[in-house]
Chains A and B, each alone.
Chain A
Amino acid sequence: MSTVVAAIDQGTTSSRCMLFDRQGRTRSLAQREHQQTFPHPGWVQHDADEIWRHVRRLVPEALDQARVGVRDVAALGIANQRETTVVWDRTTGRSLGPAITWQDTRTADIVAELVARGEDERIVDITGLPPHTYFAGPRLRWLLDHRPGLRDRAESGEVLFGTMESWLIWNLTGGVDGGVHVTDVTNASRTMLMDLTTFTWSDTMLDLLDVPRAVLPTIRPSGEVYGTCVGDLEGVPIAGAIGDQQAALFGQTCFTPGDAKCTYGTGAFLLVNAGTERPRPERTVLPTVAFALGDDAPVYAVEGSIAMTGSLVQWLRDSLEIIETAPQVETLARSVDDNGGCYIVPAFSGLFAPRWDPDARGTIVGLTSYIRKGHIARAALEATAWQTWEVVEAIRHDVGLDLQALRVDGGMTSNHLLMQHVADVLDVPVERPLVSETVCLGAAYLAGLTVGYWADLSTLAHHRHRAAVWRPSMDPAVRAHESAQWNRAVEHALGWVSHAT
């Protein structure tokens, strides 16, 4: 009888492996950091070969820690940093140059050209995604244009493309010796190459970006046995793969339309389960695939990303030096009773969802002699709450989904003042789960469901325990006033950059 499910979270700065038992409790965790390189402004790269070397060692490390053997592993699930692009040689098994990560903006010209050609309406219609440097497809195009000989070799079928889960699954299942070349549908939905209605590669998009079909992996559900591991993990089925934000949504057991989670890190990602009908929001929040289990109809999500949340606190610590450590922002914010009329809009590099203004810049408004650093700290925390509110309002307005609660994870959930403020401005309870590693948990849940280690979704929902709940307690009149003030503050930040030469 298998005793654990293993999950790999291949993230931006590190890869980790966690083991979970039948009750969804953590058994062990192993982690390794990898290098990021920044060869030019706006370029952010990883070494895919290094990441694979780390991952193949992590699972045995986690098994040793938990004192279980490979035979005790019922299944392996993979969650990964999304949109990071790698191409490799199918005969040598080596990556062909560095992986281009999701933060990398080198495809700005490719994206601008698509927009200039008037293609953006068509692209949104097919993929759900407005052209942006975020997505993997334009990166593949950039590689085909810039790596000498790559296009010829790609067209003759010698080169494979994938996001990180494709790369890992191919290697785990044997690489040059029979490796399986697949991508899961949530990752495929972030390439800007996939038709969001049919879940297949779009010929129109392949033409627009001039990508040869021969390099593409097969699009598969997020919960399915893709293949069986060889080597150290001989015999373990790989039974789940999913993008990291979708993994967190699944790990938070957001299985019903309207269930929502927000991960608060340096930035924040809010995803809401949107059911099996394709949502068509205005260009405020992104429609994406939440998960697909075997032959079941895929479930959609809408996603709003916020560029700056925890990183604003880091700025208070490192640049303004008004706090010693990030958690002390709460101590400072509690030294005053309210924001004193001060608002911070942290548009340091533009605003993401739902405003999408790259020309917005950070502003602090409402300064008077009364304002002390405590008010600044409070305004910084409130900015995270109001940005969450904007995303939730856009989802309510565009997609018609009303949140009953918000499930939260990430480092900033240790900040009670912030969590209470999020509950207050959203006017719904905010819930923190007992297992905070929701990304790994989501990948494990998918893999365990697929092989029958867990019976069904309701079994998983039963494992979920709340570690904390913050209930809304703000006077509606105060909420109305503060939201109006926040909107006025944002008006000051929009379009600040002057393009005059």
Chain B
Amino acid sequence: MTRSIQSVERATAILRLLAGAAGPLRLSEVAGTLGLAKPTAFGIIRTLRDAGFVHQDHVTSDYSLGDGVRHLHRAGIDPHDLRSLAMNWADALASRTRLEVLIAVPQRDGARIVHHVFRPDDSDQDLRVDEVLPFHATALGKVVLAFAAGIASPSPELDGYTRRTLTRRAAFDVEMTRVRERGWADEHGEFTPGVGAVSVPLRGFGGLGVGAVAVSGPLERVFHSVGAPRDEVVAATVETAAAISRSLGVRG
């Protein structure tokens, strides 16, 4: 039988201790109660704090149970925290690729846009924040569906938006397998004719998918004339997603 992992056991003990305490506890109280060395207790409690399961008072430095425990069913990250953390990276991506940048988070009926950087070509553009993109017809939707937690399968009805939209379930399932295998998705005029996009997952604490970043623009600026998206566009988006994920607490 596989042995249980000690640090996970200790983490659960700390959570139970904080949940049952009359008020916030000092680090020394947590360590003393559980018979742990202070550096050990500190390492675990700080990890739990970063995950949102423990709250540390900014004045007293004492610990109590964090909101993350009560909201376990609410996976993901606050969309406005995400926008604030991602903004500089998204601007740099738009500047580098000369394409529009979109960041989205999962919701029940699609990928909801939470951040939008205009294509830097001085064309007239409107903010698309709060627009909900269909799972099956957009790069952001596919990535969110493939990688984010807590998403049910899309409805069996796959609406057609253009003649390129994947409306047959079998074709869409093949596409999703491909997205999961290579770790990113593209969109080739499937939602808006002539518009292409590449999207990469954003990962939060512990590697959990919390959203997706995409670049979007005229097909010929995103794709080669034959088939695949341009390597430099994919590379820039992958690098940006990694940078944003690091700022969300992913190690690596």
Contact A468 B116 (CB under 8 A): yes
Interface string of A464-499 (1 = CB under 8 A from B): 011111100000000000000000000000000000
Q: Which of A300-340 contact B (CB under 8 A)?
A: 318, 324-331
Interface string of A149-161 (1 = CB under 8 A from B): 0000000000000
Chain A interface category by residue count: 20 to 34
Residue in B84, B95, B125 whose CB lies within 8 Å of A327: B84
Tell me which residues across on chain A come within 8 A of B81, comparing CB atoms: 325, 327-328
Q: How far is the CB of A31 from chain B (nearest CB, A)?
A: 13
In this complex, what residue of B is CB-closest to A318? B58
The distance in angstroms between the C-alpha atoms of A469 and B122, with both chains bound, is 11
Q: How far is the CB of A120 from chain B (nearest CB, A)?
A: 42
Contact B120 A436 (CB under 8 A): no
Interface residue stretch chosen among B34-42, B85-93, B193-201: B85-93
Asked if A434 meets B80 with Cβ closer than 8 Å, knowing A324-B67, A469-B127, the reply is: no
Contact B78 A465 (CB under 8 A): no
The residue in B84, B88, B117 that gathers the most chain A C-beta atoms within 10 A of its C-beta is: B84
The distance in angstroms between the C-alpha atoms of A467 and B78, with both chains bound, is 22
Contact B88 A465 (CB under 8 A): no
User: Does residue B217 face the partner (Cβ distance < 8 Å to A)?
Assistant: no
Asked if A327 meets B78 with Cβ closer than 8 Å, knowing A465-B120, A466-B118, A470-B127, the reply is: yes
Contact B88 A467 (CB under 8 A): no
Q: How far is the CB of B30 from chain A (nearest CB, A)?
A: 21
Q: How far is the CB of A319 from chain B (nearest CB, A)?
A: 10
Q: Which of B59-87 contact A (CB under 8 A)?
A: 67, 78-81, 83-84, 87
Q: How far is the CB of B4 from chain A (nearest CB, A)?
A: 32
Contact A330 B80 (CB under 8 A): yes
Q: Which of A16-44 contact B (CB under 8 A)?
A: 25-26
Q: Which 6 A-B pairs have the closest CB atoms?
A: A465-B120, A327-B84, A327-B80, A330-B80, A414-B84, A467-B117
Residues of A at under 8 Å CB distance from B?
25-26, 318, 324-331, 411, 414-416, 434-436, 465-470
Known contacts A414-B84, A434-B91; 20 further A-B pairs (Cβ under 8 A): A25-B95, A325-B81, A326-B84, A327-B80, A327-B81, A411-B84, A414-B83, A414-B87, A415-B80, A416-B129, A434-B120, A436-B87, A465-B121, A466-B122, A467-B91, A467-B94, A467-B118, A468-B127, A469-B126, A469-B127
Residues of B at under 8 Å CB distance from A?
58, 67, 78-81, 83-84, 87-88, 91-92, 94-95, 116-118, 120-122, 125-127, 129
8 A-B pairs (CB sep. < 8 Å) = A324-B67, A325-B84, A326-B84, A327-B83, A330-B80, A436-B88, A465-B122, A468-B118
